[in-house]
Amino acid sequence: MFDIKKIIIVCGGLLAALSAFAQHPTSTWPYIYDDFTRGKLTALNGTKSESEYNVSLVDGSLHFIEYGFVKKISAGEVLYVKIGADEFINVGGILHKVLAKSDKSVVVQEYIIDYATLNSTGGAYGAPSTTLGTTQLTSLEGVGGTNSSSSLNHIELMRGKNSGETLPLIHKTYIVVKGNKIFAAKKDVLEFAGDSKKEAAAFIKENKIKWKDNKSLLLVGDYLCSTF
């Protein structure tokens, strides 16, 4: 017979894990995750550390908790960071989520706040579109600017996370090859190929590349890395 108590406990654990990674960013909580999650950081200088991390949607920087306060690490100082089961890498000074990777290339996703949509609806807090800006993302007033030594109380941020406007997001997928960030579309890949555009087009056709499939995109990345 089934043990209903065990089923409830397991289901509860799964729901808790899923809720931690649900994406409900608001103007008072402009983060990728609903809460800070334990992770491991490898800095650009090789230093390794562990903490509770989250990624800012405002500037793609890494935030962490220290003694109950939220602090900021510039994405430019990060090589990569694992947050829960997810991995982020520094691409051009902005943290991107890793979707697939090999020893030759990486497929990543960038999260961008859709300010155009916010503008069209009058902006956060009903502000006119002409005044809309990152200053209205109030949870980052202390840690979202250039002063990385500033900090905010984590519990206070959590209390106010649902009081702000929902932030619409744009998700963009890229292929990263030898430091080059290429938008995951046939047009952009062929443009990157330059004079070898015909050969690249033949590869794409032969391998039946699917532009919404991460494994297909990784195949393109590996080809570009080996060819260019």
Instruction: Extract the runs of DSSP E, i.e. beta strands, from 37-192.
Output: 37-43, 48-55, 62-66, 69-73, 78-83, 86-91, 94-101, 105-113, 152-153, 169-177, 180-183
**Which candidate, 89, 130, 114, 88, places its Cα nearest to that of 25?**
114
SS3 80: strand
Kindly report whether the global pTM for this prediction surpasses the value 0.85: no
pLDDT in tens, 146-179: 444 467 899 998 998 888 888 999 999 999 999 9
Can you give the pLDDT at residue 227? 93
Note the pLDDT of residue 119: 73
Q: How far is CA 97 from each of CA 71, 143, 171, 192, rounded to the nearest angstrom?
A: 20, 21, 10, 22
What percent of the chain clears pLDDT 90, i.e. is strictly above it? 66
Q: Is the pLDDT of residue 136 over 80?
A: no
Average pLDDT score over residue span 20-29: 72
- Measured CA to CA, the distance from residue 222 to residue 131 in angstroms comes to 44
CA quadruple 33, 140, 172, 121: dihedral positive or negative? Answer: positive
Which pLDDT band, with edges at 50, 70 and 90, does 193 fall under? Answer: very high
